Chain A
Amino acid sequence: MIYNEEFETMPREVIKALQAKRLQQALERVYHTVGFYKKSFDKAKVKPDDIRSIADMNKLPFTTRNDMRDNYPFGLFAVPMSSVVRLHASSGTSGRSAVFGYTKRDIETWSDLIARSLVAAGITKNDIIHNAFGYGLFTGGLGLHYGAEKIGASVIPISGGDAKRQLMILQDFGPTVICSTPSYALHLAEEGQTLGIDIKALKLRVGIFGAEPWNDAIRDDIEKVFGITALNLYGLSEIIGPGIAMECMEGRHGMHIFEDHFIVETIDPQTGAVLPEGEEGELVFTTLTKEANPLIRYRTGDISRLITEPCRCGRTHVKMERVLKRSDDMLIIRGINVFPSQIAAILVDIEGLEPNYQVIIDKVGALDTLDLQVEVNDKIFSDSGSIKELQKIEKRIIKDMRDYLGISARVKLVQPNTLKKNDAKIIDKRHI
């Protein structure tokens, strides 16, 4: 099924023409309304008029995560706050996160994209959707929610956490669709089995998963344990949230990028050069219709490959392979994006100096774990030498990791010189 047949099945040349026209308008708009873009275009000596076609895009400068941080909180907005109806944000210590604004029409657009994604998964108004993506500043929960309501499905806004309650509702309300990170779904299954719940007997038939890397082996596990079809949804908050690309039912062959709203490029992460379609590279997105928070050539850090072969589902939009790699050191832990620099920042704030530390990321069952080993420095210990003070520091680290990054960490204080200078600060033992 196709939700928006007119746009989703447009002939390629019509999509290209629509993109070129919308790009022109978007460039004009950002140049005149966002100070950052005027400056960056001027610096690159390019005017919106110089971009006549998509082939000209490589003349435009990139937008990066650093640009978002430098313009925190609202510096990249193209509309006054009176036109903004929603704010979302990525995790991070204050000043290091990024804020995303939405106008009323942006919310409409986003809902439409999610509606397309759900319909692509065969979901209708007769479905009950158990939405276990986090509600709040994170875009996952509310993004899915509005799209699900748009197609008339019944939404259970359960959000994340509290597995026992989730399982009770899965049994009692009989949802037919589950939306979550893949690892959380597996975690629910494990918990359910421990409680003696017959997971296969649940009414679930489709799962929409995203927000963290996963592969077909994990997909096989999920499909087997729940007896459902598991599909991949791609998004990132900077661009709009979930709903940038969605897998169709045609056999695990990538996700259609909704090209009437976004232009995707793949670039060489080292040189920034645009790569031919189909080569593996960093995904770069330009928003064509976003009003509050338009972005031009945003470097996602996600490494993927575009699939241009026509799809049997009838959609003409280009597809992308699932993202399994990053061009930077960003980690995804239980669906939350974390940069090692954010962890360092938390520790520095607590001690006033950077202590030696090591982060070990692993999996227990389906769930990611984060262990943080911090060497006890003289400053921590010499004042008190008491267990109470040390435990206070452990608790503070755990609390700050949760408050600023939304991550549950296990903290262990270790003796000096346990960690060698050249030891990796981050060890990721998960294998995907």
Chain B
Amino acid sequence: MKVEQISVFLENKPGTLEDATRVLKEANINIRTLSVAETVDFGILRLIVNDVEKANKVLKESGFRVSKTPVVAVEVPDKPGGLHSIMEVVSKEGINVEYLYAFVEKSGQNAVIIFRFDNPEKAIDVLTKKNFTVIPGSKLYEF
């Protein structure tokens, strides 16, 4: 049920993000969603793409430092309280969220939230039990 996120190390200076997106474009890779985390000196580009293996390969070949990080994608109705309903469950279970980002599905009905949990297996387990829709990678990549 886990989703693989591509994490790319980028220096915090002009041009580095462009270099990465060019590599993806030339490999015909589509980005489903993304976020960028930054510190003073460096950032990490986090990507959900349609072809994880290919993205990993072409970025590495272009000299980027890349890692695959397991994340969890949860679908909730796009309305007030959507995110909160998830947080209630995971916090009760003592699961920590390291970061998250989200996008709204094409239909506009639902939002998909990408979580990096400290314990993804447990999170998937409790969320599934509480009838949340955890989207598997295979489905998300083709969204």
Interface residues of A (CB under 8 A from B): 376-378, 380-388, 390-391, 412-418
Contact = CB atoms under 8 A, between A and B. Distances in A.
A415 B65 contact: yes
A386 B99 CA distance: 10
B115 to A, nearest CB: 14
B42 A413 contact: yes
Given A381-B9, A385-B7, A387-B37, A376 B65 contact: yes
A188 B67 CA distance: 47
Contacts of B9: 376, 381, 385, 390, 413, 415
A382 B67 contact: yes
Interface string B29-51: 00000000101011010000000
B78 interface: no
22 contacts: A376-B9, A376-B42, A377-B65, A378-B65, A381-B9, A381-B65, A382-B66, A384-B67, A385-B9, A385-B66, A385-B68, A385-B69, A386-B7, A386-B69, A386-B98, A388-B98, A413-B42, A414-B42, A415-B9, A415-B10, A415-B65, A417-B63
B138 interface: no
Nearest to B37: A387
Contact of B42 (A385, A390, A417): A390
B11 A414 contact: yes
Nearest to B67: A385
A410 to B, nearest CB: 9
Report whether over half of chain B's contact residues are helix, strand or loop; otherwise say mixed.
strand
Contacts of A383: 67
Contacts of B63: 415-417
Nearest to A384: B67
B103 interface: no
Contacts, number: 57
Given A384-B69, A386-B116, 14 more contacts: A376-B65, A378-B65, A381-B66, A382-B65, A383-B67, A385-B44, A385-B68, A386-B7, A386-B44, A390-B9, A390-B42, A390-B44, A415-B63, A417-B63
Nearest to B46: A385
A416 B11 CA distance: 10
A170 B6 CA distance: 57
B133 interface: no
Closest 6 CB pairs of A and B: A385-B7, A385-B67, A381-B65, A382-B67, A412-B41, A385-B69
Nearest to B40: A412
Greatest chain A CB density within 10 A among B7, B65, B68 is at B65
A387 B44 contact: yes
Contacts of A388: 98
Contacts of B10: 415
Contacts of A380: 65
Nearest to A391: B39
Contacts of A412: 41-42
B141 interface: no
Contacts of B68: 385
Contacts of B66: 381-382, 385
Greatest chain B CB density within 10 A among A380, A388, A413, A417 is at A413
A377 B63 CA distance: 10
B3 to A, nearest CB: 14
Nearest to B16: A415
B41 A413 contact: yes
Greatest chain B CB density within 10 A among A381, A385, A412, A414 is at A385
Nearest to A380: B65
Given A376-B9, A390-B9, A416 B65 contact: yes
A78 B37 CA distance: 59
B53 to A, nearest CB: 15
B67 A415 contact: no
A248 to B, nearest CB: 49
A384 B10 CA distance: 15
B67 A381 contact: yes
A378 B16 CA distance: 18
Contacts of A381: 7, 9, 65-67
Contacts of B65: 376-378, 380-382, 415-416
B64 A415 contact: yes
B16 to A, nearest CB: 7
Given A415-B9, A415-B16, A387 B67 contact: no
Nearest to A388: B98
Interface string B60-82: 00011111110000000000000
Contacts of A387: 37, 39, 44
A277 to B, nearest CB: 52
Contacts of B41: 412-413
A356 to B, nearest CB: 12
A376 B12 CA distance: 13
A376 B66 CA distance: 10
Contacts of A418: 11
A208 to B, nearest CB: 39
Contact of A415 (B11, B37, B69, B98): B11
B118 to A, nearest CB: 11
